A and B are shown apart, each in its own frame.
Chain A
Amino acid sequence: SQQGEEDPQALSIQEGENATMNCSYKTSINNLQWYRQNSGRGLVHLILIRSNEREKHSGRLRVTLDTSKKSSSLLITASRAADTASYFCATDARDKIIFGKGTRLHILP
């Protein structure tokens, strides 16, 4: 069963623009993780934010976490064609992670 749910399901933006994806979840978590999946490939870990953190940065990625609202957002700044992929949030409640269905991001040239 899915714990996280991403919004929107699909997003198309122009290269250079910022992309924002949201994730909502249902139960308490230890941390929340974001992954990227290119078509036909495995998942690649992008960033992890702990339950006691509110914001985290990694390069062009910015993740926020609001545990009171049980929600997270992933911001990709200055998008590039190579950012075209599906993005998944994954909630880590104990010793396993459960994925949402993902957001398909398409960067237009």
Chain B
Amino acid sequence: DAGVIQSPRHEVTEMGQEVTLRCKPISGHNSLFWYRQTMMRGLELLIYFNNNVPIDDSGMPEDRFSAKMPNASFSTLKIQPSEPRDSAVYFCASRDTGRANYGYTFGSGTRLTVV
């Protein structure tokens, strides 16, 4: 199992540009989570999906952020337009809700820098 795969690993973009982060969860996992990590705020839950359906997006900071999960093996987090304060490491995680007492598996993250 290759684990949770995120791309790109690093992204540097100019303010105002659109940014798309990608995530492939572990096969068979039916929940997917997007987190953002900064020094100031720590790890924040942005949104999560169960069976490809968005369940809770209350952590999405602004309308500039959107996330989709068109199928069980792929999710995107899009920021449009990007701003310098969006600079952070974005993590995707997945789990199998049928195994509720097992931990989440995290990807390696995407380090986003908006200049």
Contacts and interface: CB of A to CB of B under 8 A. Distances in A.
Interface of A: 2, 30-31, 33, 35, 41-46, 48, 50, 88, 95-102
A95 B106 CA distance: 16
**Secondary structure of the B contact surface, majority rule:** strand
Interface in B68-115: 91, 93, 97, 100-109
Contact of B103 (A2, A48, A96): A48
B43 interface: yes
A2 to B, nearest CB: 6
Contact of A96 (B43, B45, B107): B45
Given A95-B97, A96-B45, A99-B42, A35 B108 contact: no
B55 interface: yes
5 A-B pairs closest in CB distance: A45-B103, A99-B43, A42-B106, A101-B42, A43-B106
A33 B103 CA distance: 7
Given A43-B43, A96-B45, 15 more contacts: A31-B100, A31-B101, A35-B103, A35-B106, A41-B109, A42-B4, A42-B106, A43-B106, A44-B106, A45-B102, A45-B106, A97-B45, A98-B45, A99-B35, A99-B43
B44 to A, nearest CB: 8
Contact of B101 (A43, A50, A97, A98): A50
- Interface residues on chain B, size class: 20 to 34
Contact of B91 (A2, A30, A43): A43
B106 A88 contact: no
Contacts of A45: 102-106
Interface string B29-55: 001010100000011010010100001
Q: Which of B31, B102, B103 has the most chain A CB within a 10 Å cutoff?
A: B103
B86 to A, nearest CB: 19
Contacts of B4: 42
B49 to A, nearest CB: 11
